Chain A
Amino acid sequence: MSMQSQDIIRRSATSGLTPPPQVRDHKLEVAKLIDVSICIGCKGCQVACSEWNDIRDEVGHNHGVYDNPVDLSAKSWTVMRFAEHQDEGGRLQWLIRKDGCMHCADPGCLKACPSPGAIIQYANGVVDFQSEQCIGCGYCVAGCPFNVPRINKDDNKAYKCTLCSDRLAVGQEPSCVKTCPTGAIQFGTKEDMKQVAAQRIKDLQARGFKNAGLYDPEGVGGTHVMYVLHHADRPELYSNLPKDPQISTTVSLWKGMLKPLATIGIAAAGLFGFLHYTTVGPNRAEEEDEHEQHETEEVSK
């Protein structure tokens, strides 16, 4: 990762006025293309991910469904989600989606993160967590529109798919791509992947999936993990893939408007005190008055 340090285009909790080094930000954007229509749900990608990244999740339990593990975790950065769907003709469709970080162009996790440099975005589009700088606040969890980051119980730090940034740095594809036996996961420049997807979509449409399309949601500026979906008009069929994901308004307000507003409020309070004291001066209770009055009281007694 240090080899890529010059390619960072965005850094969490870092002002645009003092950007990270970016002499090489001419780099081409990459993308992982997941063609849901040819995924057979073998979970080879899950295994490859654990193996390459050297993470060993606890062996869980069978929950009566194919999903295993049932959810992403700090030690399972990708999981296959299996959904059963009955189409108009009454036929069963098994919609299998490989879930994980989407590597948004406009990442909600990065926007929410308070720790400088704990989340970074490379010029090639990869969004990566620098775990040693993570403080475990979980703001990234709140910021993510896809519910991806997970906090690890052991070290209280957030983890997610790195898009195998270490492999990309030496010119290799992500491990899930390398292992996929059907070619359902492909990797290349984002432009190339869009072309591959266009071909596949044409093919699917010719085979009767008239709503087939590419999932590259605009609301987060596009993603660097894209899906080819047979039902691109209804992404929620695929285990609740959000239809129009975007950074939540609540998060935008918190990380946007509230900052200048708060600065003005606090500065105004401070400035008021300074100006008031220097112009009006302190409010003193005159001790002399007290004495005089006290004496007159004494006299009157």
Chain B
Amino acid sequence: MKEQLIQRYSAAERINHWVVAWCFIFLAISGLAFFYPAFFWLTGIFGTPQLARIVHPFIGVVMFLGFARQFFRYYHHNFINKEDVKWMKAVGEVMKGNEVGDIGRYNGGQKGMFWLMVGCMVVLMATGFIAWRPYFAGLFPIPVIRLALLLHASAALALIAGIIVHVYAAIWVQGTIRAMAEGVVTHAWAKKHHPRWFREMTGRKS
């Protein structure tokens, strides 16, 4: 029997996601190189350390714009409700592979991740702008730049740790990567992980 599929992400959404994802990878590589002396050699991926330094903020702007598009696509799906609180409280149970709560399009963990990303992106863009040489850093007093550099690194590291969880969750919950690669998920996947969304999409009772 043919497997039954539901469209979860359109082509535009998928392209949007992967543009942001690739920007993130390049930003994380260069950013970690600037943060950890032992990883400085990673700047070589960009040709030279100088080039890495020049390119980093421009990629950052692309990521920010790409993410902003995603924000306006998804923010209304990410308001936290009672079911999400239930999910968050029982996260230990969820980790064992047992679903909790009548979950809609996104679960409590995904929503938390969404808002973490939003927070990090806003901080990264604002502080990155302040520290951006040679264009903008000169406009700000040195103590402000110092604070910006500290916050930029902190937000970046929080985001990197967050993305590791994001990627792991996609690997762990099998069938998820397909949603962002091909755009579709199976009925079984939707019914198990996002029962309310499944009902909304199919008009069926799960």
B149 and A114 contact, CB distance less than 8 A: no
B95 and A250 contact, CB distance less than 8 A: no
Which of B12-20, B29-37, B70-78, B115-123 contacts the other chain? Answer: B29-37
**Binary B-proximity of A115-127 (CB < 8 A = 1, otherwise 0):** 1100000000000
Which of A50-58, A76-84, A214-222, A280-288 contacts the other chain? Answer: A280-288
Instruction: Tell me how many residue pairs across A and B have CB atoms closer than 8 Å.
Output: 139
* A115 and B164 in contact, given A262-B35, A280-B96 (Cβ under 8 angstroms): no
Query: Count of chain B residues with Cβ under 8 Å from any Cβ of A?
Result: 53
Let me know if A88 is at the binding interface, CB within 8 A.
Answer: no
B191 and A290 contact, CB distance less than 8 A: yes
The residue in chain A whose Cβ has the minimal distance to the Cβ of B1 is A291
Query: Count of chain A residues with Cβ under 8 Å from any Cβ of B?
Result: 49
Which of A37-45, A137-145, A229-237 contacts the other chain? Answer: A137-145
Docked pose: A258 CA to B54 CA in angstroms: 24
How many whole Å from A167's CB to the nearest CB in chain B? 29
Docked pose: A153 CA to B153 CA in angstroms: 26
List chain A residues, Cβ under 8 A from B3. Answer: 287
List chain B residues, Cβ under 8 A from A248. Answer: 143, 146
**Binary B-proximity of A272-284 (CB < 8 A = 1, otherwise 0):** 1100110011111
B149 and A139 contact, CB distance less than 8 A: yes
A290 and B53 contact, CB distance less than 8 A: no
Let me know if A14 is at the binding interface, CB within 8 A.
Answer: yes
Let me know if B26 is at the binding interface, CB within 8 A.
Answer: no
Q: Would you list which residues of chain A between 235 and 294 have a CB under 8 Å from chain B? A: 248, 250-251, 253-254, 258-259, 261-262, 265-266, 268-270, 272-273, 276-277, 280-287, 289-291, 294
List chain B residues, Cβ under 8 A from A137. Answer: 34, 53, 133
Let me know if B154 is at the binding interface, CB within 8 A.
Answer: yes
B133 is contacted by which of A136, A250, A262 (Cβ under 8 Å)?
A136
List chain A residues, Cβ under 8 A from B96. Answer: 280
A114 is contacted by which of B35, B142, B146, B188 (Cβ under 8 Å)?
B35
Let me know if B27 is at the binding interface, CB within 8 A.
Answer: no
Docked pose: A136 CA to B50 CA in angstroms: 7
List chain B residues, Cβ under 8 A from A269. Answer: 161-162, 164-165, 168
**Binary A-proximity of B175-201 (CB < 8 A = 1, otherwise 0):** 100000000001111011100000000
List chain B residues, Cβ under 8 A from A266. Answer: 157, 160-161, 164
Let me know if B44 is at the binding interface, CB within 8 A.
Answer: no
The residue in chain A whose Cβ has the minimal distance to the Cβ of B147 is A250
List chain A residues, Cβ under 8 A from B173. Answer: 282-283
A258 and B150 contact, CB distance less than 8 A: yes
A residues with CB within 8 A of B: 13-15, 114-116, 133, 135-139, 141-142, 147, 151, 153, 156, 248, 250-251, 253-254, 258-259, 261-262, 265-266, 268-270, 272-273, 276-277, 280-287, 289-291, 294, 297
Could you jot down 16 A-B contacts, CB within 8 Å?
Answer: A115-B40, A135-B50, A142-B149, A156-B134, A250-B146, A251-B146, A269-B162, A269-B164, A269-B168, A277-B168, A283-B173, A285-B186, A285-B189, A285-B192, A286-B192, A290-B187
* Top 7 closest pairs, chain A to chain B, by CB: A13-B37, A273-B168, A290-B188, A285-B188, A269-B164, A285-B192, A262-B157
Extra inter-chain contacts (12) besides given A15-B38, A138-B131, A251-B150, CB under 8 Å: A15-B37, A137-B53, A248-B143, A254-B153, A259-B35, A272-B168, A273-B164, A276-B172, A282-B172, A282-B173, A282-B174, A283-B193
